[in-house]
Amino acid sequence: MSGLTSQEILDLARHTFEVEAEALNRMAVSLDERFVTAVDRMLACKGKVVVTGMGKSGLVGRKIAATLASTGTPSFFLHPGEAFHGDLGMISPDDIVLALSYSGETDDVLKIIPFIHSNKNLLISLTGNEESSLAKNSDIHLSVNVEQEACVLRLAPTTSTTAQIAMGDALAVALMKARDFSPLDFARLHPGGTLGRRLLLTVGDVMRSRNLPVVGSACDMAEMIHQINKGGVGLAVIVDNDRVEGVVTDGDVRRAMDSRRVEFFDLKAIDIASRQPKVIAADAKLIDAEKMMTSCKVNALLVTDDDGRLEGIIHIYDIKL
């Protein structure tokens, strides 16, 4: 056991949130034109944004570089120690360097400043000390100063790393807006993600087109229930003369069994069918299919061609895979 009561543990967590939130609020108030200039210069950059930093600042720097790269601003992280031993060649004259060091006196970062200047790269720094060596040798300095770390010893980087992350996020968000970065742009850079899949793939890419649960209008209840169970999408499609005449869902079956139980097994499929099923084209995007399912409160859509012929079925699970 920790020796702390449940209340003490919760109080420590809440104190951490309060200290870090207060620091971010102070940063928001103190933000000035230097931030605007940094965004403008990064927006106009013809190369990449090279992010560098050591220790915890380096870990934050990796996150900032990844966020920038995934939101439309080409960026990569460069370890300052590796840079000083040969990797400075990764920085082209068209690049901007974004250097992180809370103290502003990190030796490994300061060592690469002469190269950055001689290579004529714009240097933007994030430090907690306006009078530090890094801040004074930067073209643009963005303050991430905090009054205290949330750590109970006031030593471990906690509030300060949160401030750095927040400043990096603020830059990325401002650049996204300035670039008019759209959900489709995001999807192109995240094709393996859920959003990318929904925005880039079409209904035809994922629809079910084989062994569809298709029955005729005169199909009896026993066969129709068998087809619904076999199809695995919770419905059977009524097709006559190559045209869709309606659908019967498992919900339709349950309601018919409840309201028409005496005559249920004498009914035909068309007797309990929904005659105007929700349909979608195969070339529609998955996100459009999802929106239609949500607005119509259905779990599946029929995929039809321009002449109303059935091409497939798409289920909500096909979209969310």
Tell me the pTM: 0.71
Q: What is the pLDDT along the chain (321 residues), one digit of tens a residue?
A: 568 999 999 999 999 999 999 999 999 999 999 999 999 999 999 999 999 999 999 999 999 999 999 899 999 999 999 998 889 999 999 999 999 999 999 999 999 999 999 999 999 999 999 999 999 999 999 999 999 999 989 889 999 999 999 999 999 999 999 999 887 777 777 666 666 677 778 999 999 999 999 999 999 999 989 999 988 899 999 999 888 999 999 899 999 998 988 899 889 989 999 899 999 999 998 889 999 999 999 999 999 998 889 999 999 988 876
Rounded to whole angstroms, how far apart are CA atoms 190 and 232?
A: 30
183-211 as b/e, with b when 16 or more CB fall inside 10 Å?
eeebbeeeeeeeebbbbbbbbbebbbeee
Query: Which CB contacts under 8 angstroms, 24+ apart, belong to 210-218?
Result: 212/237, 212/310, 212/312, 212/313, 213/237, 213/313, 214/238, 214/239, 214/310, 215/239, 215/248, 215/269, 216/240, 216/269, 217/245, 217/268, 217/269, 217/270, 218/268, 218/269, 218/270
Q: Is the dihedral of CA 219, 224, 228, 230 positive or negative?
A: negative
The CATH fold of domain 203-320: CBS-domain (3.10.580)
CATH number of the domain located at residue range(s) 6-181 in this protein: 3.40.50.10490
Number of H helices and number of E strands within the chain?
15, 11
pLDDT at 120: 96
Q: Residue 199 has what pLDDT?
A: 76
Domain ranges of the chain: 6-181, 203-320
